[in-house]
Amino acid sequence: MNVKNIFTVRTLQGRLTSTLVVTALMLAFCLISVPTIAQAKNSCKAKNLCKSTAQNTRISCGFEGRTDYRLACAKCDNLADPGERKACKQEAQEELKEKIKECQEQYNARIELCDDLGPDPYDPEINPVDFMDIDAMIANPNPYVPLIPGTCRTYKADTDEGTETIEVCVTDDTREILGVNCMVVRDTVTLDEELTEDTFDYFAQDLDGNLWYFGENSYGYEDDIIVSVEGSWIAGVDGAKAGIIMYADPQTGDLYRQEFLPGEAEDMAEVLALDQTVNVPYGHFENCVMTKDFTPIEPDVEEHKYYAPGVGVVLEVDVETGERVELVDVHTLTP
């Protein structure tokens, strides 16, 4: 066999290997992404609707990854240099592998939640007559998340990227969602004094004093330019549903959804303790409610939040890294 033939064989082997890798990845996606007709019918009439939601979200996740992979390959095909083209496709394959893993981990986390929450769908009944008007909400605030217009809370965190400052201000603005008049709370995040996020959150309080979360408009910034609206959702739009931020009378073991839009907004909380003591730059606080905050969208991320009576959140701690977000100041906006 001459050198030319050897080269040809090796090239074909390389192409075959690459093809087999891609085929294996796509087969894996088919296994988690493309149900049979019978499976699709069973999913639609499933009795355990919580687990059916988890399964359908996993299927959607798989299709998203496959679409991104094909688009990446299309871009790679337009690189003139063979070496760059090969490296580009290898990177796309690695991203595909990571997506497969992510979809499965999210699915596992959702199934665990279904075991705790039960088989019923998450479908809270929202009736405007069950909620306070704004004046009553101000006069009788939730004891652990009091929302008084004009009040601002400033938090700071030392991160790997720099010093992060979070300013949470209760505005005078309101927004009606599902017939409920909600308070608007503005949450801005700066990293070393450069704006990275600007969010408008919408809260309402029911007649029992439980504080509900009705959605958010979130804007991610880079160099003073909006680059993302990821995480935005409004209850009643595209299947999004309101959740509880804090009960009026939280009890250890309470487990609840704070928001719900499959694949986009799935924050959860569980009450771990009612008697925690916290020291932060703003002061010393006792009888704090401690929650575990997590989401199946990011199964490896878990935070502990501490709510001080009459103040609100005073401390957040990343369980894995130990990073702390501490309350450093409470002040009133000047007119």
- Output the pLDDT for position 160: 87
CATH class of the domain whose range is 130-332: mainly beta
The span from the CA of 26 to the CA of 17, in Å, is 14
The average confidence (pLDDT) of the chain is: 89
Q: 168-226 pLDDT, tens per residue?
A: 999 999 999 999 999 999 999 999 989 999 999 999 999 999 999 999 999 999 999 99
Q: Span 294-312, mean pLDDT?
A: 97
DSSP string, 114-175: HHHH-SS-------GGGB--HHHHHHS--SSS---TTEEEEEEEEETTEEEEEEEEEEEEEE
- Output the pLDDT for position 333: 83
Q: 283-293 pLDDT, tens per residue?
A: 999 999 999 99
Find, among 131, 244, 237, the residue nearest to 179 by Cα.
131
Q: How far is CA 272 from CA 201, 257, 266, 276, 308, in A?
A: 25, 15, 19, 10, 14
Task: Write out the H or E segment, with its range, that includes residue 228.
Answer: strand 225-228
Q: 107-118 pLDDT, tens per residue?
A: 999 999 999 999
Domain boundaries, the chain: 3-117, 130-332
For 138, phi then psi, to 5°, come to -70, -40
